[in-house]
Amino acid sequence: MTSAESRTVEALTGSDWDYSPAPERTRPDIASEYGLFIDGEFKEPQSGKTFATTNPATGERLARISEAGEADVDAAMAAARAAGPKWARLKGRERGKYLFRLARRIQECARELAVLETMDGGKPIKESRDVDLPLAAQHFFYHGGWADKLQWAFAGRNVRPRGVCGQIIPWNFPLLMAAWKLAPALACGNTVVLKPAETTSLSALHLARLLQEIDLPPGVVNIVTGAGDTGRLVASHQAVRKVAFTGSTEVGRLIMQELAPREIPLTLELGGKSANIVFADAAIDQAVEGVVGGIWFNQGHVCCAGSRLLVEESILEPFVAALRDRMAQLRVGDPLDKNTDVGAINSREQLDRIRSLVAAGQEEGAILHDAQTDSLPEKGHWFPPCFFTGVQPSHIVAREEIFGPVLAVMTFRTPEEAIRRANTTPYGLAAGVWTDKGSKIFEIARRMEAGVVWCNTYNQFDAGSPFGGVKESGFGREGGLHGLRGYVR
Ligand code: NAD
């Protein structure tokens, strides 16, 4: 529904009109404890340590997760190294079959995995069901297709796998990030030690169950859970021949320093402060929807979230009014309700960070417009969608990655000013351009310092399309032909 249509609905029905609850009934089979997935089996951690994973929407404990220590990471690396030669020798079409099998199993279990992702991470079920799961399956299908075609992918070259890959992922798209990492590595004949984020390990561990079901040879994929210390052990291990990291720029920097003396290829997919540029000649209702989806869905827990809106000065007022209307209609709450647009913030730590950055924005004089939701659940971590106007480029809300549902609105008068403002950030992950003029699109997109530029749309992903950043948003690409390069010699 466009914002104009929904304003009409509200006028006709009054502000009390509401959806009935539509709770998701599927419940995944969650164990009370999970071991580490090493050499094809779930094993108790040699560290003897475990930690709890909770549902951020309720505070309820879901399971205990193992914390991998040095001996555990060593064991995972040894398993990956031992499995390497046989996996690399396997014909590409045979490796491809495993990936296709896995993709089909993900599709078959999609509903349960989506619910699991929502329970562990807090994102609305409609996001995990309609975005994360289909894209995760797509990544395995897509890369399964490349497994026996590598000689055409790299024409004239005889490519070989790199060996053991250490892969570390964040909490915002847990299963999808695992798919982005595993699929190209396996297609190219590498073996993997993967470390999920500490607040969202469950979907990777359930993926491990599927790896057992498809009879993936033991040791080809190993999953070690734990926090930053475990990640550091994985990234710095002597057995790794390739490291792929998705997460914050701060941690990416640490990993880069750690690997600097060694010749280990590295892919870094880091933070962002992406700009959506809206010109006065754009289709305004569509642009409002794009801006709303780009920052408020998934609670703004999206690396390429359009967290800065640059709107042409002449349409500021109507655009902000439409944005405010649309924000008021967003349904914040139970992530397992199929009507929910904005779910729970992933952790207490992240909620505190969002709150402190928003408070800093107010102290600096920017004007806060929030959704004024008075019915947020009592338990769990919640932060309703909001936006700031009166923002200066020097303000903290215009500079810092907030990783929450917080939008900074600024204006521009000329295309040159829009380009300059959009590029005034150390990050360079993504950008959006909204205009009716094709020539303007080409010119602006060409001059954006961003790895991905969407035009008259936002947050579109496809396994065949490379994704990644420039500047402090990292380097290397995931997805598409470009994404294979990091996994071959
Ligand atoms: P984070 O950097 O804190 O953690 C990411 C992962 O790194 C986690 O698994 C964590 O346990 C691990 N880790 C922490 N310290 C480590 C260390 N010293 N060595 C090795 N591993 C370590 O990031 P986060 O809070 O989980 O995720 C949010 C960040 O990720 C945001 O900045 C977001 O923009 C970014 N992100 C980027 C992309 C992308 O594709 N560019 C995608 C998703 C998220």
Concatenated DSSP letters of 168-220: E--SSSHHHHHHHHHHHHHHTT-EEEEE--TT--HHHHHHHHHHHHTTPPTTS
Domain-embedded: residue 329: yes
* Ligand 1 pocket mutation pick from 73, 167, 172, 180 by most atoms within 8 angstroms of CB: 172
Are 205 and 279 within one domain? no
Are 251 and 319 within one domain? no
| Number of domains, the chain | 2
Are 429 and 356 within one domain? yes
Q: Is 476 in the pocket of ligand 1 (CB under 6 A)?
A: no
Are 304 and 349 within one domain? yes
Query: Does the pLDDT of residue 377 top 60, yes or no?
Result: yes
Are 264 and 183 within one domain? yes
Which of the four pLDDT bands, split at 50, 70 and 90, describes residue 7? low
Are 380 and 299 within one domain? yes
Name the maximum alpha-carbon separation found in the chain.
67
CB 186 within 8 A of CB 104: no
Close Cβ partners of 13 (under 8 Å, ≥ 6 residues apart): none
Q: Is 197 in the pocket of ligand 1 (CB under 6 A)?
A: yes
Domain-embedded: residue 376: yes
CB 53 within 8 A of CB 63: yes
The pair of three-digit structure tokens given for residue 68, joined into one six-digit string: 């991998």
Are 284 and 192 within one domain? no
Alpha-carbon gap, residue 284 to 271, rounded angstroms? 28
Residue 18: φ, ψ to 5°: -150, 165
CA of 334 to the centre of ligand 1 (A): 25
Give the domain range for residue 412: 275-463
Domain-embedded: residue 392: yes
Average pLDDT of the residues of the chain: 95
Q: Is 479 in the pocket of ligand 1 (CB under 6 A)?
A: no
CA of 381 to the centre of ligand 1 (A): 20
Alpha-carbon gap, residue 238 to 74, rounded angstroms? 9
Residue 110: φ, ψ to 5°: -60, -40
Query: Does the pLDDT of residue 14 top 70, yes or no?
Result: no
Q: Is 248 in the pocket of ligand 1 (CB under 6 A)?
A: yes
Are 251 and 373 within one domain? no
**Which atom of ligand 1 lies nearest, measured to the CA of 254?**
18
CB 460 within 8 A of CB 296: no
83-124 pLDDT, tens digit each = 999 999 999 999 999 999 999 999 999 999 999 999 999 999
The pair of three-digit structure tokens given for residue 197, joined into one six-digit string: 């984020």
The residues annotated with a catalytic role in the active site are: 269, 303
Kindly report the three-state secondary structure assignment for every residue of 260-308. Answer: CCCCCCEEEECCCCCEEEECCCCCHHHHHHHHHHHHCHHHHCCCCCCCE
CA of 256 to the centre of ligand 1 (A): 13
CATH number of domain containing 419:
3.40.309.10
Domain-embedded: residue 162: yes
Q: Is 307 in the pocket of ligand 1 (CB under 6 A)?
A: no
Residue at 300: amino acid letter: G
Domain-embedded: residue 24: no
Query: Does the pLDDT of residue 6 top 70, yes or no?
Result: no
29-77 pLDDT, tens digit each = 999 999 999 999 999 999 999 999 999 999 999 999 999 999 999 999 9
Are 109 and 227 within one domain? yes
pLDDT at 16: 60
pLDDT at 301: 94
Q: Is 195 in the pocket of ligand 1 (CB under 6 A)?
A: yes
Are 243 and 390 within one domain? no
In angstroms, what CA-CA distances link 402 with 20, 241, 277, 309, 442? 32, 33, 19, 14, 29
What length does the chain have? 489
pLDDT at 18: 73
289-342 pLDDT, tens digit each = 999 999 998 899 999 999 999 999 999 999 999 999 999 999 999 999 999 999
407-462 pLDDT, tens digit each = 999 999 999 999 999 999 999 999 999 999 999 999 999 999 999 999 999 999 99
Average pLDDT over residues 199-223: 98
Which of the four pLDDT bands, split at 50, 70 and 90, describes residue 355? very high
Which range among 148-157, 394-403, 470-479 shows the weakest confidence by mean pLDDT? 148-157
pLDDT at 1: 52
Domain-embedded: residue 14: no
pLDDT at 201: 98
CA of 401 to the centre of ligand 1 (A): 13
β-strand pairing of 61-66 with 386-389: unpaired
Residue at 440: amino acid letter: K
Query: Does the pLDDT of residue 3 top 70, yes or no?
Result: no
Q: Is 401 in the pocket of ligand 1 (CB under 6 A)?
A: yes
Alpha-carbon gap, residue 42 to 239, rounded angstroms? 21
Are 246 and 306 within one domain? no
Alpha-carbon gap, residue 409 to 166, rounded angstroms? 39
CA of 303 to the centre of ligand 1 (A): 10
Query: Does the pLDDT of residue 5 top 60, yes or no?
Result: no
pLDDT at 19: 78
pLDDT at 304: 96
pLDDT at 467: 98
**Which atom of ligand 1 lies nearest, measured to the CA of 401?**
32
Are 54 and 157 within one domain? yes
Domain-embedded: residue 189: yes
CB 171 within 8 A of CB 121: yes
pLDDT at 271: 95
The phi-psi region of residue 89 (left if phi > 0; otherwise alpha if psi is between -120 and 50; otherwise beta) is alpha
Alpha-carbon gap, residue 194 to 190, rounded angstroms? 12
253-265 pLDDT, tens digit each = 999 999 999 999 9
The phi-psi region of residue 360 (left if phi > 0; otherwise alpha if psi is between -120 and 50; otherwise beta) is alpha
Alpha-carbon gap, residue 452 to 294, rounded angstroms? 14
Query: Does the pLDDT of residue 131 top 80, yes or no?
Result: yes
CB 427 within 8 A of CB 271: yes
CATH number of domain containing 56:
3.40.605.10
The pair of three-digit structure tokens given for residue 270, joined into one six-digit string: 């880091």
Domain-embedded: residue 89: yes
